Structure 1
């Protein structure tokens, strides 16, 4: 198999979703630009170019409010599934494995294999950090995208108020504003619903060949068993 095809096959999931993300973001930008200019024209203001729209707070807040909710979903799910279980779900660990598990189960320290990441056997702070690095990264991305949403959100909020000859507000005031929490909570509730639905529906329903589903013939009570 040629190297390029080997690379595409070995990274198909990331490449497919990455491509889908770029296309969806481009589509959002095009549709958002049209809507933004329609609002400007309706308010008897001059429309902006596509490049100008990409630099507006309206575009930034629309993008970041979705990013922060997605990263919150993964952060909560990664940390929550350490302790929280769902009997019969492949999204859950087996019922007797709640918690951080032993070093032997996690292949840490003297139990690390020859092909284990180097920091798995390092011990101390490095091992402690690396063993939580995925959750830490998701938490950091959530906090940064939420911060970006709040900054872009207050700018967009104040621009709208200025067009209506109303006084702008500060960033701290915006953090307590209904606009900020409406944008935030409408995304959080949808992400929590989606994760909870997946956890319980996967107990009883199957998708042949998917690692997110149990094997078709597995019992409903089988927990922590994934297909392949």
Structure 2
């Protein structure tokens, strides 16, 4: 029996819902960050800023990219390290002994992506395109975090009637590095959690879990 066609929302619901959650959360972050920043300005006897002005402030940019860079770094490491490293029994690991489908060389077919059909340098890039894009997203968001944190640092200096400092001097300060490692450690912990917990725990219906009746020593999904 032919299954009924699903609508576009059903077929793309996972990405749609997460993008909506991201936009709502980001909007809330900007709004409450603006209120916090305005409150701090008022306490110092300074003039408040508009929401649009706050959006481009160092405080806002730093807070946004501080989270972006740690998430993209997490995903980059997750994609790359799971190529080589193993965890027996984890749903997130390749089998430590058996060959995996993802390790075979690509074979072009009528339904293959265009770079696979083209071969050559296009295929060589495409074979690593996921890690390349995550690396670029991490590099860009790390730079955005650095820029925002640097601007916020100097904005704080100006509010205190102190002179701004050059970037080289700012990099010697602990502020940016504290923000960076504060986020990285939480990302490493979350990856370790899903790798280890999927050895013993299950969630029926989730592709991130092994089947409920799978033995603990089964590696992969």
Please give the residue correspondences for 1:1-228 in structure 2 after superposition, counting only pairs within 5 Å.
Answer: 6-96=7-97, 97=99, 101-103=103-105, 108=106, 111-225=107-221
Gaps of at least 5 residues in structure 1 are none
Rounded Cα–Cα distance in structure 1 between residues aligned with 2:104 and 2:205 = 30
Rounded Cα–Cα distance in structure 1 between residues aligned with 2:169 and 2:186 = 26
Gaps of at least 5 residues in structure 2 are none
Cα deviation, residue 2, structure 1: 10
Structure 1-normalised TM-score?
0.90
Cα deviation, residue 50, structure 1: 1.4
The answer to whether the 8 A contact 1:64-1:146 is kept is yes
Rounded Cα–Cα distance in structure 2 between residues aligned with 1:176 and 1:84 = 35
- The structure showing larger relative contact order (alpha-carbon pairs under 8 Å, at least 6 residues apart) is 2
Cα 1:60/1:203, change in 2 over 3 Å: same
What SS does the corresponding residue of 1:95 show, helix, strand or coil? coil
* CA-to-aligned-CA distance 1:159-187 (integer Å, 9 cap, x gap): 10122233322123223320010010000
Rounded Cα–Cα distance in structure 2 between residues aligned with 1:201 and 1:187 = 21
What SS does the corresponding residue of 1:35 show, helix, strand or coil? helix
Rounded Cα–Cα distance in structure 2 between residues aligned with 1:157 and 1:2 = 57
Cα 1:216/1:133, change in 2 over 3 Å: same
What SS does the corresponding residue of 2:186 show, helix, strand or coil? helix
Deviates more, 1:139-148 or 1:48-57: 48-57
Q: Number of paired residues?
A: 217
* CA-to-aligned-CA distance 1:52-83 (integer Å, 9 cap, x gap): 21121111110000000000000000011000
Structure 2-normalised TM-score?
0.93
The answer to whether the 8 A contact 1:71-1:138 is kept is yes
Runs of 4+ in structure 1 over 6 Å off: none
The answer to whether the 8 A contact 1:150-1:171 is kept is no
Rounded Cα–Cα distance in structure 1 between residues aligned with 2:83 and 2:24 = 34
